[in-house]
Amino acid sequence: MIDRLIEKIKSTNAPIVVGLDPMLKFVPEHILQKAFREYGETPEGAAEAVWQYNKGIVDAIYDLIPAVKPQIAMYEQFGIPGMEVFQRTVAYCKEKGLVVIGDVKRGDIGSTSEAYAAAHLGKVRVGSKICSGFDEDFATVNPYLGSDGVRPFLKVCDEEKKGIFVLVKTSNPSSGEFQDRLVDGRPLYELVGEKVAEWGKECMGTGSYSRVGAVVGATYPEQGRILRRIMPETFILVPGYGAQGGKGADLVHFFNEDGLGAIVNSSRGIIAAYRQEQYARFGEQGYADAARAAVEAMREDIAAALDRR
């Protein structure tokens, strides 16, 4: 799947992943009201609104981008109907040819991580049959529990030719509280990065990149430069562009000389673009077209920054 992701990044010329993090306040009123008329002001109604909103966006942008990243928390908050729409969104995006990164940030001790890996990337045996759960292409993984929390994911990645992105240096303001603490004079995120590189070597794709990627926030470009060097074969998923403050020029350090090695996420910068002044002309009704325009602008911003380096 890492090979397929790279292929799609090349063919779209867009190292971009769109975060499908549908907060209800982003969903245009006409979609919301229609869903509430059909299903009431219920979790079912909320889930239906999220689904229609997602579908509109995906239909408008799927040809421009290689991948989407649905954030499962935004679905999980609506209970079962929310989880159903998470699953439906994953399946629909795959039908549209998109690579799907499940932003689930799971991680636990061995046997439990096995179950999470099965839930999101693998399969589970039921009697004589083999079934799958949510079946994303990639999942994000939290490293705090160490190797035996991560290895079950590696096993499934090998079996299914899928991948993970391990949290290394996250984009949020307080990520430094633990991640930046110095261990033998070096920040913890560097040690996690080294571990990611090590796990990655056990789990290479057919090209020069591993099935084990890393998450490093666009809001920390200097750390990105260092981690890029520590993990040369690791694809970096870069959140924090746009709404969180990351800019095109901050991104160049995350890429390798081959122009690959990073994929930049934007969530509300794309899916709620219609609420920004520069896309206000599209109006609420045109939210999907606004998303398309925002993807095009993001693609140009990143290409220009990479050209300038």
Pick out residues in 42-61 that bind its own copies (CB under 8 A): 42-43, 45-46
By CB under 8 A, residue 194 contacts its own copies: no
**Cβ proximity to its own copies, 128 vs 206, nearer residue:** 128
Of 4-12, 39-47, 56-64, 283-291, which part binds its own copies (CB under 8 A)? Answer: 39-47
83 touching its own copies, by CB under 8 A: yes
Which one of 172, 208, 278, 285 is in contact with its own copies (CB under 8 A)? 172
Q: Could you confirm whether 169 is annotated as catalytic?
A: no
Residue 13 or residue 33: which is nearer to its own copies going by CB? Answer: 33
CB 309 to its own copies: min, Å: 28
Of 1-9, 34-42, 57-65, 229-237, which segment contacts its own copies by CB under 8 A? 34-42
Region near its own copies per CB under 8 A, out of 66-74, 91-99, 156-164, 293-301? 66-74
Least CB distance to its own copies at residue 196 (A):
12
> Phi/psi at 203 (nearest 5 deg)?
-145, 55
Kindly state the smallest distance separating residue 35's Cβ from its own copies, in Å. Answer: 9
Q: Does the footprint of its own copies cover residue 108 (CB under 8 A)?
A: yes
Question: Minimum distance between the CB of residue 144 and its own copies, rounded to whole angstroms?
Answer: 4
Q: How many residues bind its own copies (CB under 8 A)?
A: 73
110-129 positions binding its own copies, by CB under 8 A: 110-113, 115-116, 118-120, 124-129
Return the closest-CA partner of residue 90 out of 133, 125, 126, 35. 133
- When asked if residue 82 is in the footprint of its own copies (CB under 8 A), the reply is yes
Catalytic residue list? 105
